[in-house]
Amino acid sequence: MSERFVAPAVREDEREFDAALRPRTLDEFVGQDRVKEQLGLLIQGARARGEFADHLLFSGPPGLGKTTLAGIVSHEMGVGFRPTSGPALERAGDLAAILTNLEDGDVLFVDEVHRMPRAVEELMYEALEDFKLDVVIGKGPSARSIRLDLPRFTLVAATTRPGMLTLPLRERFGFAPRLDYYSKEDLELVVLRSARILGVDVDAVGAREIARRSRGTPRVANRLLRRVRDFAEVRADGKIDGRAARGGLELFEVDEQGLDKVDVGILGTLIRKFDGGPVGLSTLAASVGEETETIEDVYEPYLLQLGFLKRTPRGRVATELAYRHLGVTASGALPLG
């Protein structure tokens, strides 16, 4: 998984690179126009009233800008930014330590909030509504509860699985937009902006070629830009034009629809071994050597979005579009010359 160039999850070696390319204001942020407009209105209204922003919940697939928007909220409101994640808050004491160290107005960003333990989540309810925290000190008969006053803060949470959030937690957010996949036009603007920051010479054709293979995800677009930059510098004159972009992306096995060899392998297995399906998820996963959760959470969403795959009560089915994309006949054989 760490070697997949089209995987939307951030990799350890990309964190500094990812942070350097993040826009700091709504004006710099590309795409998600309706969410930007709504968020801008919310921020301007809060600032005009001299208040802090409502608690926010951003949901959507990974790599679309949830963390970036959280940072933008902090910057636009002129307050501090304290990031953490749901899995990092293992105990109630972890949450208490973070909340009691916040300053008035700070943005507390919790990534993957759906993975927060239930005990920590229940402690969060009162903190979000009343800005108070009940802490139990000691154990057994000598245990006692202390109520702490917290600074007024804004919780900005992000999740890739909004359905896993409990209703009481969801209801405590004042605004909960969902981020959608980006259009090719928006991704082209993302590539051009990132290229300017990196000092990469890229023309419109090269940017368009990278954008249309980026699976609707800015993080993937930036990753492919880095790989094509390497190709252009080593095997071309350093400029990313259409030819260099196509050559680099073909070398790294990213096809015209943004599929890599794993995606193609899943579709090929479904078509050639199972006559296009239907086939159960566990059987398909075993056939391609992946975990069922990996197939369902990582590979399937984009294949479903393209219309190459269908989920049915009897299992997964390859569509006619998948047959055409792989260039195979309905029988699963390669077409005759």
Instruction: Tell me which residues are annotated as active site.
Output: 66-67, 111, 160, 219
- Spatial contact of 54 and 174, defined as CB atoms under 8 Å apart: yes
Task: Give 127-178 as a 3 state SS string.
Answer: HHHHCEEEEEECCHHHCEEEEEECCCCEEEEEECCHHHCCHHHHCCCCECCE
Q: Which residues pair with 111 in a beta bridge?
A: 85
- Spatial contact of 267 and 236, defined as CB atoms under 8 Å apart: no
Give 292: exposed, middle or buried? Use CB within 10 Å, 0-12, 13-18, 19+.
Answer: middle
- Distances from the Cα of 57 to the Cα of 122, 139, 163, 170, 258, angstroms: 17, 35, 13, 8, 29
Element (H, E) at 309: strand 309-312
Task: Using CA atoms of 271, 272, 273, 278 in order, give the dihedral in degrees to the nearest 10.
Answer: 20
Phi, then psi, of 45 in degrees rounded to 5 = -65, -45
CA nearest to 19, candidates 76, 88, 70, 89: 70
Phi, then psi, of 132 in degrees rounded to 5 = -135, 160
Give CA–CA dist 91/160, Å, rounded: 22
